[in-house]
Protein backbone atom coordinates (compact mmCIF):
# COMPACT_ATOMS: atom_id res chain seq x y z
CA UNK A 1 0.00 0.00 0.00
CA UNK A 2 2.83 2.38 0.81
CA UNK A 3 4.53 1.42 -2.45
CA UNK A 4 1.34 2.23 -4.33
CA UNK A 5 1.14 5.60 -2.60
CA UNK A 6 4.74 6.34 -3.57
CA UNK A 7 4.00 5.57 -7.23
CA UNK A 8 1.00 7.91 -7.13
CA UNK A 9 3.09 10.62 -5.48
CA UNK A 10 5.79 10.32 -8.13
CA UNK A 11 3.26 10.38 -10.97
CA UNK A 12 4.24 6.90 -12.14
CA UNK A 13 0.63 5.69 -11.96
CA UNK A 14 -2.84 7.20 -11.91
CA UNK A 15 -4.32 4.09 -10.25
CA UNK A 16 -2.47 1.74 -7.89
CA UNK A 17 -3.91 -1.54 -6.56
CA UNK A 18 -3.03 -3.70 -3.55
CA UNK A 19 -5.64 -6.39 -2.94
CA UNK A 20 -3.63 -7.69 0.03
CA UNK A 21 -4.10 -4.35 1.81
CA UNK A 22 -7.11 -2.67 3.37
CA UNK A 23 -6.61 -3.71 7.01
CA UNK A 24 -8.87 -0.97 8.31
CA UNK A 25 -9.48 -2.09 11.92
CA UNK A 26 -5.91 -1.95 13.29
CA UNK A 27 -5.18 0.89 15.72
CA UNK A 28 -1.96 2.55 16.78
CA UNK A 29 -1.60 0.31 19.85
CA UNK A 30 -4.08 -2.47 19.11
CA UNK A 31 -4.64 -5.27 16.62
CA UNK A 32 -8.32 -5.71 15.82
CA UNK A 33 -10.70 -7.48 13.45
CA UNK A 34 -8.10 -9.68 11.70
CA UNK A 35 -5.95 -6.56 11.19
CA UNK A 36 -2.56 -6.27 12.93
CA UNK A 37 -1.14 -3.23 11.10
CA UNK A 38 -3.12 -0.49 9.40
CA UNK A 39 -1.55 -0.26 5.95
CA UNK A 40 -4.24 2.25 4.95
CA UNK A 41 -3.16 4.82 7.52
CA UNK A 42 0.49 4.36 6.54
CA UNK A 43 -0.35 4.81 2.86
CA UNK A 44 -2.39 7.95 3.57
CA UNK A 45 0.50 9.42 5.56
CA UNK A 46 2.69 8.81 2.53
CA UNK A 47 0.18 10.55 0.25
CA UNK A 48 0.03 13.53 2.62
CA UNK A 49 3.69 14.24 1.90
CA UNK A 50 2.60 15.49 -1.52
CA UNK A 51 -1.17 16.00 -1.45
CA UNK A 52 -2.89 18.66 0.63
CA UNK A 53 -6.06 16.59 1.17
CA UNK A 54 -6.75 12.85 0.92
CA UNK A 55 -10.18 11.25 0.71
CA UNK A 56 -10.68 7.76 2.19
CA UNK A 57 -13.70 5.67 1.10
CA UNK A 58 -14.67 2.36 2.73
CA UNK A 59 -17.24 -0.01 1.14
CA UNK A 60 -16.44 -3.01 3.34
CA UNK A 61 -19.49 -4.19 5.31
CA UNK A 62 -17.65 -3.29 8.54
CA UNK A 63 -17.01 0.26 9.71
CA UNK A 64 -13.50 1.55 8.94
CA UNK A 65 -12.88 2.44 12.57
CA UNK A 66 -9.08 2.31 12.60
CA UNK A 67 -8.67 4.77 9.75
CA UNK A 68 -11.33 7.11 11.11
CA UNK A 69 -9.71 7.13 14.54
CA UNK A 70 -6.28 7.94 13.10
CA UNK A 71 -7.54 11.09 11.35
CA UNK A 72 -10.48 12.06 13.57
CA UNK A 73 -9.08 15.50 14.47
CA UNK A 74 -7.62 16.68 11.18
CA UNK A 75 -9.15 18.18 8.04
CA UNK A 76 -6.35 16.88 5.83
CA UNK A 77 -8.06 13.49 5.57
CA UNK A 78 -11.78 12.94 5.10
CA UNK A 79 -13.01 9.43 5.95
CA UNK A 80 -16.23 8.08 4.43
CA UNK A 81 -17.65 4.69 5.45
CA UNK A 82 -20.77 2.81 4.30
CA UNK A 83 -21.30 -0.12 6.67
CA UNK A 84 -23.69 -2.31 8.60
CA UNK A 85 -24.46 -0.74 11.97
CA UNK A 86 -26.03 -2.06 15.16
CA UNK A 87 -25.13 -5.28 16.93
CA UNK A 88 -22.29 -5.88 14.53
CA UNK A 89 -18.51 -5.58 14.72
CA UNK A 90 -16.93 -3.14 15.48
CA UNK A 91 -20.08 -1.36 16.73
CA UNK A 92 -18.94 2.12 15.69
CA UNK A 93 -19.81 4.45 12.83
CA UNK A 94 -22.95 6.32 13.85
CA UNK A 95 -23.99 9.34 11.78
CA UNK A 96 -23.20 11.44 14.86
CA UNK A 97 -19.52 10.48 14.59
CA UNK A 98 -18.40 13.41 12.44
CA UNK A 99 -14.88 14.14 13.66
CA UNK A 100 -13.61 16.49 16.36
CA UNK A 101 -11.62 19.70 16.77
CA UNK A 102 -10.07 20.63 13.41
CA UNK A 103 -11.52 17.48 11.90
CA UNK A 104 -15.15 18.21 12.71
CA UNK A 105 -17.39 17.28 9.75
CA UNK A 106 -14.47 15.45 8.08
CA UNK A 107 -15.67 12.01 9.20
CA UNK A 108 -18.71 10.73 7.30
CA UNK A 109 -20.60 7.60 8.34
CA UNK A 110 -23.58 5.98 6.65
CA UNK A 111 -24.98 3.20 8.91
CA UNK A 112 -26.85 0.56 6.91
CA UNK A 113 -29.21 -2.32 7.65
CA UNK A 114 -29.31 -5.84 6.23
CA UNK A 115 -30.13 -6.55 2.61
CA UNK A 116 -29.06 -3.38 0.80
CA UNK A 117 -29.02 -3.97 -2.96
CA UNK A 118 -27.27 -2.38 -5.94
CA UNK A 119 -29.93 0.23 -6.66
CA UNK A 120 -30.22 1.39 -3.05
CA UNK A 121 -26.45 1.53 -2.62
CA UNK A 122 -25.98 3.62 -5.76
CA UNK A 123 -28.74 6.00 -4.62
CA UNK A 124 -26.67 7.00 -1.59
CA UNK A 125 -23.09 6.48 -2.77
CA UNK A 126 -23.18 8.66 -5.87
CA UNK A 127 -24.82 11.82 -4.46
CA UNK A 128 -22.76 11.75 -1.26
CA UNK A 129 -19.40 11.17 -2.97
CA UNK A 130 -20.30 13.61 -5.73
CA UNK A 131 -20.92 16.32 -3.14
CA UNK A 132 -17.76 15.45 -1.23
CA UNK A 133 -15.62 15.67 -4.36
CA UNK A 134 -17.16 19.05 -5.14
CA UNK A 135 -16.67 20.43 -1.63
CA UNK A 136 -13.46 18.76 -0.44
CA UNK A 137 -11.50 18.54 -3.70
CA UNK A 138 -8.97 15.90 -2.57
CA UNK A 139 -5.59 15.53 -4.21
CA UNK A 140 -5.74 11.74 -3.89
CA UNK A 141 -8.30 9.04 -3.07
CA UNK A 142 -7.83 5.81 -1.12
CA UNK A 143 -10.60 3.24 -1.54
CA UNK A 144 -11.03 0.15 0.63
CA UNK A 145 -13.01 -2.41 -1.37
CA UNK A 146 -13.84 -5.10 1.18
CA UNK A 147 -15.78 -7.88 -0.58
CA UNK A 148 -17.74 -8.95 2.50
CA UNK A 149 -20.45 -6.51 1.41
CA UNK A 150 -21.30 -8.87 -1.48
CA UNK A 151 -24.34 -11.11 -1.51
CA UNK A 152 -23.68 -14.53 0.03
CA UNK A 153 -20.66 -13.59 2.13
CA UNK A 154 -20.25 -15.90 5.14
CA UNK A 155 -19.89 -13.02 7.59
CA UNK A 156 -21.92 -10.42 5.69
CA UNK A 157 -25.59 -9.61 5.26
CA UNK A 158 -25.72 -7.23 2.29
CA UNK A 159 -27.12 -8.05 -1.15
CA UNK A 160 -24.66 -6.36 -3.53
CA UNK A 161 -23.71 -7.95 -6.82
CA UNK A 162 -20.16 -7.78 -8.13
CA UNK A 163 -21.25 -5.21 -10.71
CA UNK A 164 -22.94 -3.10 -8.02
CA UNK A 165 -19.79 -3.22 -5.87
CA UNK A 166 -17.60 -2.42 -8.86
CA UNK A 167 -19.70 0.57 -9.89
CA UNK A 168 -18.41 2.38 -6.80
CA UNK A 169 -14.85 2.03 -8.11
CA UNK A 170 -15.98 2.97 -11.59
CA UNK A 171 -17.68 6.13 -10.28
CA UNK A 172 -14.61 7.30 -8.34
CA UNK A 173 -12.42 6.77 -11.41
CA UNK A 174 -14.48 9.32 -13.35
CA UNK A 175 -13.00 12.16 -11.25
CA UNK A 176 -9.49 11.52 -12.64
CA UNK A 177 -7.84 11.91 -9.24
CA UNK A 178 -4.90 9.66 -8.22
CA UNK A 179 -6.56 6.54 -6.82
CA UNK A 180 -5.23 3.84 -4.50
CA UNK A 181 -7.47 0.74 -4.50
CA UNK A 182 -7.14 -1.70 -1.60
CA UNK A 183 -8.70 -4.99 -0.55
CA UNK A 184 -10.23 -5.73 2.83
CA UNK A 185 -12.74 -8.23 4.17
CA UNK A 186 -14.33 -11.08 2.27
CA UNK A 187 -15.07 -14.57 3.57
CA UNK A 188 -16.63 -16.43 0.67
CA UNK A 189 -13.32 -16.76 -1.13
CA UNK A 190 -14.53 -17.61 -4.65
CA UNK A 191 -16.64 -14.43 -4.66
CA UNK A 192 -13.74 -12.35 -3.35
CA UNK A 193 -11.65 -13.57 -6.30
CA UNK A 194 -14.50 -12.78 -8.69
CA UNK A 195 -15.00 -9.29 -7.27
CA UNK A 196 -11.39 -8.18 -7.24
CA UNK A 197 -10.71 -9.63 -10.70
CA UNK A 198 -13.66 -7.60 -11.99
CA UNK A 199 -12.54 -4.43 -10.20
CA UNK A 200 -9.00 -4.84 -11.51
CA UNK A 201 -10.54 -4.82 -14.98
CA UNK A 202 -12.53 -1.70 -14.05
CA UNK A 203 -9.31 0.00 -12.96
CA UNK A 204 -7.73 -0.91 -16.31
CA UNK A 205 -10.80 0.03 -18.38
CA UNK A 206 -10.97 -3.54 -19.65
CA UNK A 207 -13.99 -5.74 -20.31
CA UNK A 208 -14.13 -9.32 -18.96
CA UNK A 209 -16.31 -12.11 -20.31
CA UNK A 210 -18.78 -13.63 -17.88
CA UNK A 211 -17.58 -17.15 -18.76
CA UNK A 212 -14.47 -17.94 -16.74
CA UNK A 213 -11.48 -19.38 -18.62
CA UNK A 214 -10.20 -22.76 -17.52
CA UNK A 215 -7.65 -22.52 -14.70
CA UNK A 216 -6.27 -24.50 -11.75
CA UNK A 217 -9.18 -23.38 -9.57
CA UNK A 218 -11.91 -23.87 -12.14
CA UNK A 219 -13.95 -26.28 -10.00
CA UNK A 220 -14.21 -23.72 -7.18
CA UNK A 221 -16.57 -21.74 -9.41
CA UNK A 222 -18.95 -24.60 -10.22
CA UNK A 223 -21.63 -25.18 -11.27
CA UNK A 224 -21.90 -22.27 -13.72
CA UNK A 225 -18.23 -21.13 -13.86
CA UNK A 226 -19.31 -17.51 -14.30
CA UNK A 227 -17.65 -14.29 -13.20
CA UNK A 228 -20.81 -12.59 -11.97
CA UNK A 229 -23.19 -13.69 -9.23
CA UNK A 230 -26.88 -12.96 -8.87
CA UNK A 231 -28.40 -11.10 -5.90
CA UNK A 232 -30.59 -13.14 -3.58
CA UNK A 233 -34.24 -12.54 -2.72
CA UNK A 234 -33.40 -11.39 0.83
CA UNK A 235 -35.43 -8.50 2.20
CA UNK A 236 -33.91 -5.03 1.97
CA UNK A 237 -34.40 -3.49 5.41
CA UNK A 238 -33.05 -0.16 4.16
CA UNK A 239 -36.31 1.56 3.28
CA UNK A 240 -36.28 4.52 0.86
CA UNK A 241 -37.39 6.76 3.73
CA UNK A 242 -34.53 5.60 5.98
CA UNK A 243 -31.90 6.06 3.27
CA UNK A 244 -33.24 9.48 2.30
CA UNK A 245 -33.23 10.63 5.92
CA UNK A 246 -29.63 9.57 6.58
CA UNK A 247 -28.48 10.92 3.22
CA UNK A 248 -30.00 14.33 3.93
CA UNK A 249 -28.39 14.44 7.37
CA UNK A 250 -24.98 13.73 5.84
CA UNK A 251 -25.44 16.26 3.04
CA UNK A 252 -26.46 18.82 5.65
CA UNK A 253 -23.23 18.16 7.58
CA UNK A 254 -21.23 18.60 4.38
CA UNK A 255 -22.65 22.10 4.00
CA UNK A 256 -20.46 23.10 6.94
CA UNK A 257 -17.34 22.47 4.85
CA UNK A 258 -15.67 25.35 3.02
CA UNK A 259 -16.57 25.29 -0.68
CA UNK A 260 -12.90 24.84 -1.58
CA UNK A 261 -10.52 24.43 1.36
CA UNK A 262 -7.94 27.17 1.02
CA UNK A 263 -6.01 26.66 4.25
CA UNK A 264 -2.54 25.45 3.33
CA UNK A 265 -1.56 22.72 5.77
CA UNK A 266 1.81 21.02 5.48
CA UNK A 267 2.19 21.44 1.72
CA UNK A 268 4.53 19.29 -0.33
CA UNK A 269 7.36 17.24 1.11
CA UNK A 270 9.88 19.91 0.02
CA UNK A 271 7.76 22.68 1.59
CA UNK A 272 7.57 20.74 4.84
CA UNK A 273 11.38 20.52 5.03
CA UNK A 274 11.76 24.26 4.39
CA UNK A 275 9.09 25.10 6.97
CA UNK A 276 10.77 22.98 9.64
CA UNK A 277 14.09 24.82 9.14
CA UNK A 278 12.34 28.20 9.42
CA UNK A 279 10.70 27.12 12.67
CA UNK A 280 14.10 26.18 14.16
CA UNK A 281 15.38 29.68 13.43
CA UNK A 282 12.26 31.18 15.03
CA UNK A 283 12.81 29.15 18.20
CA UNK A 284 16.28 30.66 18.61
CA UNK A 285 14.91 34.18 18.07
CA UNK A 286 12.50 33.78 20.98
CA UNK A 287 9.04 32.55 21.83
CA UNK A 288 7.48 35.90 20.98
CA UNK A 289 8.65 35.77 17.37
CA UNK A 290 7.54 32.13 17.12
CA UNK A 291 4.03 33.09 18.25
CA UNK A 292 3.90 35.74 15.54
CA UNK A 293 4.84 33.15 12.91
CA UNK A 294 2.21 30.72 14.19
CA UNK A 295 -0.45 33.41 13.97
CA UNK A 296 0.59 34.15 10.41
CA UNK A 297 0.84 30.52 9.26
CA UNK A 298 -2.36 29.25 10.86
CA UNK A 299 -3.16 25.94 12.54
CA UNK A 300 -1.14 23.15 10.98
CA UNK A 301 -3.56 20.41 12.00
CA UNK A 302 -2.89 17.33 14.11
CA UNK A 303 -1.56 15.07 11.34
CA UNK A 304 0.70 17.78 9.94
CA UNK A 305 2.19 18.61 13.36
CA UNK A 306 3.16 15.01 13.94
CA UNK A 307 4.75 14.72 10.51
CA UNK A 308 6.68 17.96 10.77
CA UNK A 309 7.93 17.33 14.29
CA UNK A 310 10.08 14.50 12.95
CA UNK A 311 11.65 16.90 10.49
CA UNK A 312 12.18 19.51 13.23
CA UNK A 313 13.98 17.00 15.42
CA UNK A 314 16.40 16.11 12.61
CA UNK A 315 17.07 19.78 11.83
CA UNK A 316 17.71 20.55 15.51
CA UNK A 317 20.36 17.84 15.63
CA UNK A 318 22.03 19.39 12.59
CA UNK A 319 21.95 22.88 14.16
CA UNK A 320 23.38 21.58 17.46
CA UNK A 321 26.16 19.74 15.60
CA UNK A 322 27.09 22.94 13.79
CA UNK A 323 27.16 24.90 17.07
CA UNK A 324 29.38 22.31 18.75
CA UNK A 325 31.73 22.37 15.76
CA UNK A 326 31.95 26.16 15.95
CA UNK A 327 32.78 26.04 19.68
CA UNK A 328 35.56 23.49 19.08
CA UNK A 329 37.00 25.68 16.35
CA UNK A 330 37.00 28.74 18.68
CA UNK A 331 38.88 26.77 21.34
CA UNK A 332 41.54 25.68 18.83
CA UNK A 333 41.96 29.28 17.60
Domain map of the chain by residue range? 2-254, 269-332
Arithmetic mean of pLDDT, 155-164: 98
pLDDT value at residue 318: 46
Q: H/E element holding 81?
A: strand 77-84
d(Cα 267, Cα 57) in Å, to the nearest integer?
Answer: 22
Considering 24, 25, 51, 307, which one is annotated as catalytic?
Answer: 25
Q: Which CATH architecture has domain 2-254?
A: 3-Layer(aba) Sandwich (3.40)
d(Cα 136, Cα 120) in Å, to the nearest integer?
Answer: 24
- Is residue 326 predicted with pLDDT exceeding 80? no
Question: Do residues 121 and 231 make contact, with C-beta atoms less than 8 angstroms apart?
Answer: no
Arithmetic mean of pLDDT, 261-288: 46
pTM for this entry = 0.79
Which of 73 and 258 is assigned the larger pLDDT?
A: 73
Q: At CA 93, angle to CA 88 and CA 96, rounded to 5? A: 135
What does DSSP assign to residue 89? T
Is 62 annotated to bind ligand? Answer: yes
Which of 262 and 35 is assigned the larger pLDDT?
A: 35
Active site residue 25: yes
d(Cα 209, Cα 181) in Å, to the nearest integer?
Answer: 22
pLDDT value at residue 271: 39
- Is residue 206 predicted with pLDDT exceeding 90? yes
Contacts with 121 (C-beta within 8 Å, 6 or more apart), sequence order = 82, 160, 164, 168
Please, which pLDDT band fits residue 270 given cuts at 50, 70 and 90?
very low
Arithmetic mean of pLDDT, 281-286: 48
* Torsion sign (Cα): 91, 93, 96, 98: positive
Amino acid sequence: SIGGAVKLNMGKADVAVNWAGGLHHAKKCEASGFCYANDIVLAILELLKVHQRVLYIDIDIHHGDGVEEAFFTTDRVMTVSFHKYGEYFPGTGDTKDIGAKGGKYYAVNFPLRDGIDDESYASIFRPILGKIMEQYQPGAIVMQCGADSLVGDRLGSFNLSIKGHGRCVEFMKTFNVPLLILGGGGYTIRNVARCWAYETAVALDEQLRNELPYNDYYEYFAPDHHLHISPSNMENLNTPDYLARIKERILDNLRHLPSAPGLQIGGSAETARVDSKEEDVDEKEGDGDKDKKDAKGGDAGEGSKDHRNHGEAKDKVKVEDKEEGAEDKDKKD
